[in-house]
Chains A and B, each alone.
Chain A
Amino acid sequence: MTLWASIRVALTALRVNALRSALAMLGIIIGVASVIVLVSISEGTKRAVEDQIASFGANLLIIRPGSSMFGGRRGGAGSAPPMTDGDVLAIRNEVAGLSSVSGEVRTATSIVFAGANWQTSIYGVNTDYFDARSWIIDEGRAFSPAEDNASRRLAVVGQTIVAELFDGASPIGQVIRVGGQPFEVIGTVEAKGESNFGTDQDDIVFVPLNAARSRLGAGQRPPTPDPVNTIYADVSAGEDIGRVIADIQDLLRIRRDIAPGASDDFNVSSLAEFIRARNETENQLGLLLAVGAGIVLLVGGIGIMNIMLVSVTERTREIGLRLAVGARRRDIRNQFLIESIVLCMIGGALGLAAGIGGTALYANVGQLEIVVSPLIVAIAVGASLFVGVFFGLYPAQRAASLNPIDALRFE
């Protein structure tokens, strides 16, 4: 019997018991749909994470002081002496493979413009910062290294500041008061939106690092005259991040006079790795859900096997007749196997539709970009085919092994 003829016979047989067939398919429909929703969401999440990493700077290193040691008593994170301007310069000049290096000090204060005031974060940074952290100048310009060194009172503001203080009008050339001191706005940065942690990244004012320290008192850590809270270093594309991290660690150990064998009192971490590590947790959750979907498919498959066994029993006389008129055992086996596969494939197709629908729904609710890829279709087809063959084989073998006489006499 040709494949097409077998499929037609299978479709006829399934149509005869349409409700029963539909119920048998339900497990496959739900199983395939949940697999698809899971894969889509996990793909979408992965893409969102990658976007986040890109917005942070794909190869960004974060260098912070660690904990200090005083005769066996360990301080908390950041208790060790701060980084300095000298460290920033040394890393920039002596470590190969970095495209931009910038220090950062932070403070929070209120800013005032034309009678309106707004409490915000003030970041004192070097010019390289904008490149290192992937901030793109939207309007105007960033301050130059010379302006930074001269502690000029200049500011680059985020889009939330533009909206809150300037009602969306161009702030370039306006003078705002930051901590009581006049700063001229020379640029704005493009919006980054909400961070991974739910904070508004655009609620921000950048000023030259030296100005932040000397005029706003940011990051002061006596007796260090030129403290820097954090250093950001962006590794050039194609460089070995591990090697760069090791170079920075070697350099800082010498500069901070750490004895051989003693542990570092600073951390060099990679933001991308941090985000990936965090994503691992989500992957584990995804794995758990995938196991759940697998169980649904398993149960669905058992349903298919059950219904196929019922079908074989019901059609015992038909099997006997087919054997009597010349069907070989493999003809009978193939007929029932194809019926099981057709049943599962229809279920898989419905599951695919339901899964894409469910994913779209989730995408609307969860504000997530959803990826419906060929992979998903392949999964749906593959899973249905597998269940059809795996759970259809036993009933089909059973049908094929029937004795023609007993089958013909079966009541």
Chain B
Amino acid sequence: MSALIECEDISKVYTMGDTQIRALDGVSVAIEAGEYVAVMGASGSGKSTFMNLLGALDQPTSGALRVDGRALDALGPDALAEFRSHSIGFVFQQFNLLPRTSAVENAALPLVYSGVPAGQRRKRAQARLDQVGLGDRSHHHPKQLSGGQQQRVAIARALVNDPAIILADEPTGALDSRTSEEVMRIFDGLNREGITVILVTHEQEVADHAKRQIVFRDGKIVEDRS
């Protein structure tokens, strides 16, 4: 059986004017279903580019990338959107919640694009808010919630389509250390339930929650320890 994520010699090259920037340079790595991975490295090391490729927000310049049974390097825009909708749950550093929109509506947003009827959307979003401990805040707007609470709404949103993979880009970057710890415990719990969690971070304490750490430097993996 093949791994959940298979990268084979993938490169990503950005062209800026005359200069070419090799953000990823021949990366090969496999991640199995149910793993808990921290992707580390300095800024500009290629770790964010790697995450974007895994989440189908971008496509590699060369190499083969299979995620959740699909060859992402060969998919068209609509198929990529469909993949993001069903296989990936994103969590961002800045939460990226819609302002003036209640927590439950924010959490239900991905369901709007995966064709779930309106009645079910609310129910499923509410269930995920309960799961992250915000069931009693479902009608609050982002402005009325603390940073930690907002990030938990964002995690509920990432979970609402039952994705195989949660991709979290610096999920604690905007939070204080106590709140960070609360949010990380949610990721720990999700991984225990069998969801593959991949987080990008530059904080060692955050990375220590993961069971495997992959370190990038200059577009290459320089360390991969379990």
A interface vs B, CB < 8 Å?
Answer: 1-2, 5, 12, 16, 317-318, 320-329, 331, 403-405, 408
Contacts and interface: CB of A to CB of B under 8 A. Distances in A.
A324 B118 contact: no
Nearest to B86: A326
Nearest to B55: A324
B84 A326 contact: yes
Contacts, number: 62
Contacts of B98: 318, 321
A14 to B, nearest CB: 12
B: interface residue count bin: 20 to 34
Contact of B78 (A317, A328, A403, A405): A328
A326 B57 contact: no
Contacts of B110: 325-326
Contacts of A329: 77-78, 81
A322 B216 CA distance: 29
Given A5-B118, A321-B98, A327 B113 contact: yes
5 contacts: A5-B112, A5-B118, A323-B81, A324-B84, A331-B113
A329 B79 CA distance: 11
Contacts of B85: 325-326
B81 A327 contact: yes
Q: Is the interface of B mostly helix, strand, loop or mixed?
A: helix
A292 to B, nearest CB: 40
B114 interface: yes
B130 interface: no
Contacts of A405: 52, 57-58
Contacts of A12: 100-101
Given A325-B84, A327-B81, A331-B113, 12 more contacts: A5-B118, A12-B100, A318-B98, A321-B98, A324-B90, A324-B96, A325-B157, A326-B81, A326-B161, A328-B82, A404-B57, A408-B57
Contact of A326 (B96, B100, B114, B118): B114
A325 B90 contact: yes
B187 interface: no
A326 B82 contact: yes
A403 B86 CA distance: 20
Nearest to A330: B78
Nearest to A321: B96
B92 interface: yes
B55 A328 contact: no
Contacts of B82: 326, 328
B113 A317 contact: no
B192 to A, nearest CB: 24
7 nearest A-B pairs in the assembled complex, by CB-CB distance: A326-B85, A325-B110, A326-B113, A328-B81, A321-B96, A404-B57, A327-B113
Contact of A328 (B58, B90, B101, B113): B113
Nearest to B78: A328
Given A1-B112, A324-B84, A326-B161, A408 B118 contact: no
B27 interface: no
B214 interface: no
A322 B52 contact: no
Contacts of A1: 112-113
Contacts of A403: 58
Nearest to A327: B113
A321 B110 CA distance: 10
